[in-house]
Structure 1
Amino acid sequence: MKKVLAAALIATVSACGGEEGGEWSGVEDRQTETLSSESASLAQPSPTFIPKPTGPCPEFTEGTLTFQPSGIKARKVRIWMSDAAKTLDGPLVFYWHGTGSSPTEATTGIGTTQINAIKALGGIVAAPERDPAAGTFPWFYVSSNSRDDDFRVADEVLACAIQKVGVNVSRIHSMGFSAGGLNTTHMSYRRAGYIASVATYSGGRSSTIPTQDTTNKFAAMIFHGGPSDQVVINFQTVSQNYYNDLKSKSQFAMICNHGKGHSIPTDARAAIWQFFQAHPFGTVPSPYAGGLPSTMPSYCQR
């Protein structure tokens, strides 16, 4: 029953426009995109690396919850959800904030319209707080630390969400900006066992990252701000490295130079949500392989 209701709501929510500067161009395009996404999800495999809870799970409500994965420090995670999660198995979108920011950055990075759409589908947005032990940057792998704590927290959020309210395990995604974009890049490889698709704002890859499940050809939407997108590292370069690596592995990727330096391109938020809906776990080939929809930003290339 949950899946039937979810399919109906996907069609309903997809018919709503995005935020200013990122609205969809027409009803026909939206219906085609929804049908492509649903058809792909029916034919594709489910993830095999689904974690189990390792500590006590909190009751899921909107707000800041505490998760206690075994063997590491408890961590607070900002959760956005609605009562629809009790009846629908919806998507789960992780958001990783940039250096000096906070989990509420998700309202800018994802957008309140898109967060509300996720909530209406019974979905959850989860934005972890940083552990100060990570160092200068908010996430352990971004600080060149080998500790897997951040993704063990993500595993616990996913496992507990499945236990408490249910999740559509074919629709687990990750986003982030700057340090959070770099962390999303790490998550795409290190949690390829369940990640369906990702979007990075000024993220990228500067070195080899081990892949949890090499059979999962997850899709990526990769943004950078051009030559001036530099803070400690050149994000244009590492974004291009990420794109090149995925393409070399026959994975679908889009590279998007918004040309606004080190910033979040808020005009792209509706397109990212559309991209996630079109790319559940195991979507190969991508429905965008033959060409990008007109609703994608004009500065994106495949």
Structure 2
Amino acid sequence: MRSRLLPAIPALLLVACTAEPESDGDGQTGTDAGMTEADTGESGDGDGDGDGDGNGDGDGDGEDPTPQNLPTPTGACPTFESGYVPFSPASIDQRTVRLWVGEDPQPGGLLVIYWHAYTSGADEAAFTLSAPVIEAITAAGGVVAAPFAADDVGEFPWFVVNNSDRQDDMLLADEIVACAIEQVGVDPRRIHSSGMSAGGLQTTAFSMARSHYIASSASFSGGTFMQLPFEDASNKFSAMIIHGGDNDIFGGAVNFKTLSTAWFNQLRDNGNFAFMCDHGGGHTIPSGYGSSVANFFFAHPFGTQPSPYAEALPAEFPTDCSL
């Protein structure tokens, strides 16, 4: 059977929005100039990916691909409501997660896990994606979940960025996924990730480490220092890779254009659909990208092949994005 239709939301409805510039402590600033609500791709096959084909192979038939071996809760799932919510996976310390959830969540929405930058916090998600975009996601039955870092993580907020092999962050994400499916009924085909700087590096690492269930990812000033192994190289998840150009440098040494390009090349070599956006603003959160990220997620559920963007990006996307 085909997956449940996403609740319809207006396609490309422009909503003006302004925000005060804010900084997360590593030179990342920006303002959100506006958003477009996510396009659910209803002209295709009814599964929201716009591919006109149930299994993405182009022949117009078949079942929607669904991730196998999804995580199940290891602790008591919390009530999903907007705010700061404790999660208690069995094998790690309790962690707080900032959740955005609709007032009357309906099954079938997407889940976005957002990883914040160095010296920042979970509320950064509302700045990077913008409040109207988050509202559009939750109005369509979705959830945005932004973890806080562990108390003993080290200098940077995520274990992998500290060159640690501790799996706490990945296990927390598994618990968020499992509980969001159990408590809200999010679509298992619509699990996505995003993040900025240290959170962009974590987005890359999480997408590779959980490539058996990730649908698509959008990194801001992320990438990888080395080729990370795919947990499941057969899942050709899609990626929107955003960086700030030649001056996207942190600490005088870490060049995020270089790291982003390295991940782009690894994905393309594996047959994954990926494209890059060079906003040219250095190591900053660019304004106005949240709507494009949301539209990208809505258009790329699990197993979407070929990408509906394979021939051209949507006209409303930032002009600095290219195939």
Q: Normalising by structure 2, what TM-score? A: 0.85
Q: Which residue of 2 aligns with 1:277?
A: 298
Report the equivalent of 2:173: 154
1:49 Cα deviation from its structure 2 partner:
3.1
- Decide whether the 8 Å contact of 2:243 with 2:280 is kept in 1: yes
User: 2:258: which partner in 1?
Assistant: 237
Distance in 2 between residues matched to 1:19 and 1:240, nearest whole Å:
32
Would you say the 8 A contact 1:191–1:212 is kept in 2?
Answer: yes
State the alpha-carbon separation in 2 of the partners of residues 257 and 19 from structure 1. Answer: 23
Contact persistence 2:36–2:133 (CA under 8 A): no
- The equivalent residue for 1:60 is 80
Matches within 5 A, 1:1-302: 6-7=5-6, 9-10=7-8, 12-19=9-16, 21-24=33-36, 33-36=41-44, 37-40=48-51, 42-43=54-55, 44-85=64-105, 87-232=106-251, 233-302=254-323
8 Å CA contact 1:205, 1:241 repeated in 2: yes
Would you say the 8 A contact 2:195–2:203 is kept in 1?
yes
Tell me by how many angstroms 1:133 deviates. Answer: 1.5
Secondary structure of 2:314's counterpart equals coil
Measured after TM superposition, the shift of residue 162 of structure 1 is 1.5
Residue 293 of structure 1: how far off its partner (Å): 1.6
Closer, same or farther: CA 38–207 of 1 in aligned 2, 3 Å:
closer
Displacement of 1:15 after TM fit? 4.7
Distance in 1, matches of 2:246 and 2:203, equals 21
Partner letter of residue 180 of structure 1? G
Over the aligned positions, Cα root-mean-square deviation in angstroms equals 2.0
Contact 1:84–1:119 at 8 Å: present in 2 too?
no
The residue type equivalent to 1:76 in the other structure is: T
TM-score for both structures, normalised by structure 1: 0.91
- d(CA) in 2 for partners of 1:276 and 1:89? 14
Using the alignment, how far apart are the partners of 2:113 and 2:39 within structure 1? 24
Which residue identity does 2:170 align to in structure 1? F
Q: In the alignment, is the contact (CA less than 8 A) between 1:18 and 1:114 conserved in 2?
A: no
Q: 1:216 to 1:139 in 2, by over 3 A?
A: same
Gaps of 5+ in 1: none
Query: Could you give the per-residue CA deviations for residues 44-96 of structure 1, whole angstroms, max 9, x where no partner exists?
Result: 301113100111111111111111111111101010001332x3321000000
Secondary structure at the counterpart of residue 98 of structure 2: strand
Between Structure 1 and Structure 2, the one with more helix by share is 1
Q: Which amino acid aligns with 2:67?
A: P
Deviations 1:179-230 (A, max 9, x none): 0000000011001111101101100011121212111101000011111111
The structure-2 alpha-carbon separation of the partners of 1:151 and 1:18, relative to structure 1 and needing over 3 Å to count, comes to: farther
Q: Is the 8 A contact 1:14 1:34 kept in 2?
A: no
Q: Identify if the C-alpha distance between structure 1 residues 168 and 19 changes in structure 2 by more than 3 Å, giving closer, same or farther.
A: farther
1:153-185: CA deviations, max 9, x gaps? 011011112122211111111000000000000
Q: Distance in 2 between matches of 1:68 and 1:24?
A: 35
Deviations 1:119-147, CA, capped at 9 Å, x for gaps: 10111000000013211100000110001
User: Which structure 2 residue ranges, 5 or more long, are not aligned?
Assistant: 18-32, 56-63
Task: For 2:186 and 2:14, locate their aligned partners in 1 and report how far apart those are by CA, in whole Å.
Answer: 25
| Offset, 1:24 | 5.0
Distance (whole Å) between structure 2 residues aligned to residue 148 and residue 123 of structure 1: 26
In the alignment, the residues of structure 2 paired with residue 71 and residue 275 of structure 1 have an alpha-carbon distance, to the nearest angstrom, of: 34
Structure 1 residues 118, 255: CA separation in 2 closer, same or farther (over 3 Å shift)? Answer: same
- Identical amino acids, percent of aligned pairs: 42
* 1:39 positional shift: 4.3
